[in-house]
Structure 1
Amino acid sequence: MSNNLITEGKFSYAEAGEGQPIIVLHGLMGTLSNFDGVFNHFSKNGYKVIIPELPIYSLPLLKTNVKNISKFLKEFMIFKKIDKAILLGNSLGGHIALYFTKLNLKNVTGLVLTGSSGLYEKSMGDTYPKRGNYEYIKEKTKEVFYNPDVASKEMVDEVFSSVNDRSRVIKTLAIAKSAIRHNMGKDLPEMNTPTCLIWGKNDLVTPPEVAVDFEKLLPDANLFWVDKCGHAPMMEHPDEFNRILENWLKERNL
């Protein structure tokens, strides 16, 4: 997908399809390719799927937080002349979607959250990953998935590169602290937006009880479980993820 990136001004994004816009928001260590299955399926089935590169590592340090990435999303939607969209986010991407919805309810047709932060998440350990220790990074990356084979060498190499880049480490920590500060617990009951929660039963980062809490706190949410699945259902079980989401969109006429 990186070969198909469109760059216009400060925005880089992948886009395909026509119809109702679905804007996909990747996580902190995530990439656009994490959503290949979603991108390919829904862009051929009546939706315009757009995946922007979030400025996690390009914002000034003092602006590296959930609030400013949410502002970036608003600017992106204005740039693309999109008034309303379905927002689909994994991990930090889900948190960005929630924070954006809190401030821009009229611009959100529906929410799709999978392994979303915003209430609670467990980081890659109690302390930041040990820089320089490849095997440690490899094990921690594999823990994100129920099936460790999903963590390809390319993925491990990318995470390893990030945690050994001083600037990225500092900004990753800034985002992590921001995510804790911007807990959405008090805001969720006011967010009367159709919400689809697709959660891995074996998620160690945002455990199943987090999904249950999201369902309780959001006024209009449906929770779907994916068995033998960790923190990224759209990667581990793309066909099942797409089936669940497609059925939910049809039921909600979205």
Structure 2
Amino acid sequence: MNMNKKELPSLLLLPGLLCNERLWQNQVNNLVDICQPFVADFSQDDSIEAMARRVLDRAPEQFFLAGLSMGGYVAFEIMRQAPERVTRLALFDTMARLDEPERAATRKGLLRLAEEGRFIGVTPRLLPNLIHKDKLNTPVADEVMKMAAELGKEVFLKQQTAILNRSDSIPTLSKIKQPTIIVVGEDDKLTPPEESVNMAKAIPNAQLHRIPKCGHLPPLEYPQLTTELLRDWILQEA
């Protein structure tokens, strides 16, 4: 990581399942005046713990931390491994609890299909689970499918395995003392708003933002609004 602008705080952006740096591209492009943004690479590890360690190994001593979905699971793990290094926390469309049995079974079924060579990435049929209906058949939909295709089967296997074996983060929520914002799409089908409401109640002084007509991916669906929420969070007084 390039740390030439030492006067600006570092912002670590953690992507979700089958997402890469393009998930956060608008934020990276438009927050450079107030921070140094870096996007983590989650293509190499098959556990949330290892993903968190890799981020910490490459991160500056202290940083702002924002994670979406699986990136939120990694953010919780970073808070377990090195809470003193995180100065602020932003959680997008994620949840602290473990999967219920039905959802875990679905993940295992998808893993089996991928292992059998039937990895399909994100298809148009799956998009309504990820983005709001107003964003279907738009460049947002194309971007979601492109990211999944680029990362591919092997990354999918690693990431789903990591998600299935993650730790329960509910017991750690009350210990989070950093200024925290929680953002969720009002129409998120994967991590519904209730999950964010529960986290906001458990994390001391957390601020909750619900985005209307938005699914699971606010940084792509509403890039300017997401950037402004992060800008306000970065600039707010601790």
Q: TM-score, normalised by structure 2?
A: 0.82
CA distance in 2, matches of 1:21, 1:31: 19
Alpha carbons 1:120, 1:206 under 8 Å: kept:
no
CA distance in 2, matches of 1:124, 1:239: 36
Secondary structure of the structure 2 residue equivalent to 1:19: coil
CA distance in 2, matches of 1:136, 1:50: 25
Give CA-to-partner distance per residue, 1:144-180, whole Å, 9 cap, x none.
001223210x5425535766x3x4453233112123x
Alpha carbons 1:16, 1:48 under 8 Å: kept:
no
User: 2:173 aligned with 1:188, yes or no?
Assistant: yes
Spell out the pairing of 1:191-210 with structure 2 (5 A cutoff): 191-210=176-195
User: 2:214 aligned with 1:225, yes or no?
Assistant: no
CA distance in 2, matches of 1:14, 1:230: 33
Structure 1 pair 220/102, CA: closer, same or farther in 2 (3 Å)? farther
Structure 1 pair 40/169, CA: closer, same or farther in 2 (3 Å)? closer
Give CA-to-partner distance per residue, 1:212-246, whole Å, 9 cap, x none.
01101111311011110011111100111122222
Q: TM-score, normalised by structure 1?
A: 0.78
2:85 to 104, 107, 110: 107
> Where does residue 141 of structure 1 map in the other structure?
127
Secondary structure of the structure 2 residue equivalent to 1:109: strand
CA distance in 2, matches of 1:232, 1:124: 23
* Distance apart, 1:23 and its partner CA: 0.9
> Where does residue 41 of structure 2 map in the other structure?
53
Structure 1 pair 198/124, CA: closer, same or farther in 2 (3 Å)? farther
> Where does residue 198 of structure 2 map in the other structure?
213
* Distance apart, 1:69 and its partner CA: 1.0
The number of equivalent residue pairs is: 225
Structure 1 pair 247/169, CA: closer, same or farther in 2 (3 Å)? closer
Secondary structure of the structure 2 residue equivalent to 1:49: strand
User: Mean alpha-carbon deviation: is it higher for 123-132 or for 233-242?
Assistant: 123-132
* Distance apart, 1:118 and its partner CA: 3.1
Q: Larger RCO: Structure 1 or Structure 2 (Cα < 8 Å, ≥ 6 residues apart)?
A: 2
Structure 1 pair 53/26, CA: closer, same or farther in 2 (3 Å)? same
RMSD of equivalent CA atoms? 2.8
Secondary structure of the structure 1 residue equivalent to 2:29: helix
Q: Which consecutive residues of structure 2, in runs of 5 or more, have no partner in the other structure?
A: none
Percent of aligned positions with the same letter in both sequences?
19
Alpha carbons 2:95, 2:196 under 8 Å: kept:
no
CA distance in 2, matches of 1:251, 1:236: 24
> Where does residue 10 of structure 1 map in the other structure?
none
Secondary structure of the structure 1 residue equivalent to 2:123: helix
Q: Which consecutive residues of structure 1, in runs of 5 or more, have no partner in the other structure?
A: 1-12
